[in-house]
Amino acid sequence: MAKKVQKVDQERIRNAVREILLAVGEDVDREGLQKTPDRVARMYAELLSGMYEDPNVHLRSVFTEEYDEIVLLRDIPFYSVCEHHLLPFIGKAHVAYLPTGKVLGVSKLARIVDCYAHRLHTQERLTGQIADVLMRSLKPQGVAVVLQASHSCMTIRGIKKPGSLMVTSALRGIFKKDARSRNEVLSLMHQGTA
């Protein structure tokens, strides 16, 4: 596998973090803060690594399989960064598709979620991007994606409502058009959950 090119300008982030620390009245030379700009720069490079990753790389592990029932991977942990406040949102993704003779290696569903999640985002757009790439690449009868996440921008600041979850869905193909198929996939996604 080719090594990923590091495209995040960490030096620029270090300088910006130093300015933020100065702006809030901190002493950037005190022991606890001396390495903070570097830590924050490395953190953003890691959290936003999906910006420089092509999700289609994960769609190459497709196998011929005459399977015509729902394929679902539930409870995929993910984290992303809210583009409005630069704070994380953390949750679980549920991804399903109804194949048409081709199935994807199961770990690739989780890799696609990570690839898109590791970018600056809104949860709504993230949900749609995952569904759309699967529809384009696999050409299944349908795709369903549901994300549930807790947003730090709402739990630790602003309205301060810890424990609240935002739920978004993206339904494509048969899951959008056919009520029975939609009900079946959503029921499978929520089996065993409160």
Residue ranges of the binding site for Zn(2+):
82, 85, 153
Please, are residues 141 and 99 in contact by the beta-carbon 8 Å criterion? yes
Assess whether 148 carries a catalytic annotation. Answer: no
Assess whether 115 carries a catalytic annotation. Answer: no
Q: List the binding residues.
A: 82, 85, 153
- Alpha-carbon distance of 108 to 136, in angstroms, equals 15
The DSSP annotation for 126-143 comes to HHHHHHHHHHHHH--SEE
Assess whether 83 carries a catalytic annotation. Answer: yes
Assess whether 123 carries a catalytic annotation. Answer: yes
From the list 118, 123, 141, 148, the catalytic residue is 123
Assess whether 58 carries a catalytic annotation. Answer: no
* DSSP run (H or E) holding 169: strand 166-173
Amino acid in the structure at residue 168: T
The DSSP annotation for 60-87 comes to --EEE----S-EEEEEEEEEEEETTTS-
Assess whether 151 carries a catalytic annotation. Answer: yes
Assess whether 94 carries a catalytic annotation. Answer: no
Find where tokens 């953003």 sit: 44
From the list 10, 26, 53, 153, the catalytic residue is 153
- Alpha-carbon distance of 57 to 168, in angstroms, equals 25
From the list 82, 94, 121, 148, the catalytic residue is 82
From the list 6, 84, 124, 190, the catalytic residue is 84
From the list 6, 83, 124, 190, the catalytic residue is 83
Question: Which positions are annotated as active-site residues?
Answer: 82-85, 123, 151, 153
